[in-house]
Structure 1
Amino acid sequence: MSPFSKAHTRLAALRADLTGDAFRPEDPGYDNARKLFNTRIDRHPAVIAQCATTADVVHCVRFARDLDLHIAIRAGGHSPAGMSLNDNGLVIDLRRMRTVTVDPGSRTVRVEGGALMSHLDQATRPHGLATTGARNSTTGVAGFALGGGTGWLDRAFGLAVDNLLGVELVTSDGSRIRATDHENPELFWALHGGGGNFGVATALTLRLHPLPEFSIALLTYRPESGRDVVRGYREIIEAAPPETGGGIIRTQLVDALLTYPGPAQDLRKLARPLLALPHEAVVLTPLPYAAFQRILDSPPGLRNHSSAESLTGLPDEAVDVFCELGNVMPVPATTRYSLFPQGAAVASGPDRFPVPFRDARWTVHPFGMWEDPADDRRCVQWVEDVRAAFRPWSTGAVCLNLVGDEGADRVVAGLGAGNIRRLAAVKAAYDPDNVFRFNHNILPR
């Protein structure tokens, strides 16, 4: 009997053990449970287990190991390359585990493995606290943080991994462990970028920072003004207080976004050069960070392909390349093509972790989104063209959160060639059989 058939035969016993639920392909709810943010991905797991407790996760890992089923881990579910699903295996779906507990006294937060950015931000907002989150409120906290974590607040508060204080894991043999600076410290080091390679992260503890005020300036321009806008934005960032963030976002128009953890009147002074350029619209206002996070969310239900390059700088030649490729962007109504400033707290963060993109000055992030399968080839090619065009200014590193399944070389670029041997040793210690392989995979050695 195949592992697939055995899984269905023993599914009743698994369901009896679970607080949550489990689906097989013929069950109502299965197709909805396997839907991903990226509709290009169409995979059919043998079983999707929607876990509600850590004990559920333990049961699922042991179930899969007993039946020799591959395991994929689904936390938030963005997973642009579909790494949170597999074919004919088990999916451990954590999205029912989304409790967020804030300790304002210690300025920390415990976030369960299935919580989204929106859950984290709403929980911390009443306390005037925040931490670096993704640029979409629907992104899962666990995958984001364990993969590096660059977002709107990273220049102020550092990368998400810089704020990681502890991880609760279920390992490949079904054990429950905790990783901190003092408990399993080598594993804790590896989790700063190594993602889901070492176990199922059932909860994370993150450092919080005071954020009593937050303001944005969002200006919209015609594409023909693009070069002046990007150059002006670059000059503002280079002279602004280091906690200033944001980015250039190209769709059908050009958006220049400045974010600032402070009052709007201070941001208005910073934005003067952009305000002086002819623009179509402007929003300059104080805004709760949790509310802002939802404004620029990418829509679900589309086909997509994305990648990124970390840049040494943004000279005029790179600005020209950005604008030229924006003018030939396929399906501009939904595609997002962005330039994000880095540096500041990102660059000054701890250098002991496997995060090799820390020295980048900018990141370019082409994120193609479209509806018609007939557009697949040209949209994917455009993303690759952007990467190729920016290679003259690439640092050679990349934040793995921003890329899909691009091969082993890109995993090395995301973790650092000098770190791979050490990471492989940690993988061998905690997942010697590479049970957790549906990720930016590190082979055990």
Structure 2
Amino acid sequence: MDGEHSAPTPAPAAEVVDICRDLIRMDTSNFGSDDGPGERKAAEHVAALLEEVGIPTQIIETAPGRTNVVARWGGDGTRDDALLVHGHLDVVPAEAEDWSVHPFSGEVQDCQQGGLSVWGRGAVDMKDFDAMLLSVVRDRQRTGRPPARPIVLCFTADEEAGGHLGAELLVRDHAEVFEGCTEAVGEVGGFSTTVRGQRLYLIEAAEKGMAWMRLTARGRAGHGSMINADNAVTRIAEAVARIGAYEWPVRLTPTMRTLLGTVGTLAGVDATPDNARELVEEFGGATRMLGAVLSNTTNPTMLGAGYKVNVVPTEATAHVDGRFLPGFEDEFFRTLAELCGDDVSVDYVSNQAPWETPYDGALVDAMTRSLLAEDPDALVAPFLMSGGTDAKHFRKLGMSSFGFTPLRLPEDLDFTALFHGVDERVPVDALEFGARVLDRFLDQV
């Protein structure tokens, strides 16, 4: 048979580096306000990449420049339950003078930690996943391999500021685009870490709740030279000191019991709340993230009061970033009220619930098999994410969720430090690995 009519050879990783670089070059910095470029340019680029291979898209703009892309793809008619695969297009801001390369250059450079890598803001959070997904989808569409299960592809705005102009509004005002979706996969999971020489892939199966709080204390205004026992600044300072110094007790959720049980087996000990922090230390640089999910946390981040040094103000404020574990919400808010005291009020800038998905079932099996097919000697386990993702919003529609952005990383790369960090970068071979894993995953979902 003439070779010119043979089917094209699948190459899911062929475009991943170029797509990642192109997306990084599009500045989609999210300042948490109306300032900034928005996601429009990147959203139009994503839509064009999908339309080029025959996948119709819908662009949904929730505010000027704040743009989301949704597409429905695949499905052979044998299943009604769709899978949502989502990634966000915005990034946190970056100061160019702090970086070794320009943060929006998308340069490919070698480096001591990570080897040949794509550099730039969003390289790991999360234009790497957007690029992997687009590279795989385009290749499968070109080679006639759409998945048997219906897939909804969603690229969102505003995730870095809580998703209020992205996933939250999509769920509230455009829920019809997610019709049939029963499960979802998105960011922060599937990356590797190394424990005692053993490569271990972490799949996000839970997420802490978010309580961004504005504390307010009121008192009696007066001259700074006089005695004032009703001082708002003193009250807010005392509350902030109590909150910042409080040591939250260790609380293990089912997800973390599973993860620490895996690490305990490698270390030759049983995992308990008493040795949980010691076991988390086995993760090296990833300890900064995993250590934060052994308990609730509260970090004061901003203070405000007064306008002149010799005037006692009527009001003083503070902002606190609180994160609470699934199943321990009541303990968190009860303790917070005690720490604030009766003279400090609390308003919520953002208050989002935690979530936890049982780590079992066909989707977990598909993620595990697709990882082990590319890295047979590895282990796979769930983890609880300290930060927040768009999964919080999509779960309002009844979807179970996982974080699955597969990356095989060098042991010496301090990967978690790159999230929102200076010199953010992703190894080229990790991007290509992730595309191959996602390709396998879509065959099994």
Alignment TM class, shorter chain as reference = under 0.3
Give the TM-score, by structure 1 length.
Answer: 0.25
Which has the larger Rg? 2
Which structure's relative contact order is higher, taking Cα pairs within 8 Å and 6+ residues apart? 2
Give the TM-score, by structure 2 length.
Answer: 0.25
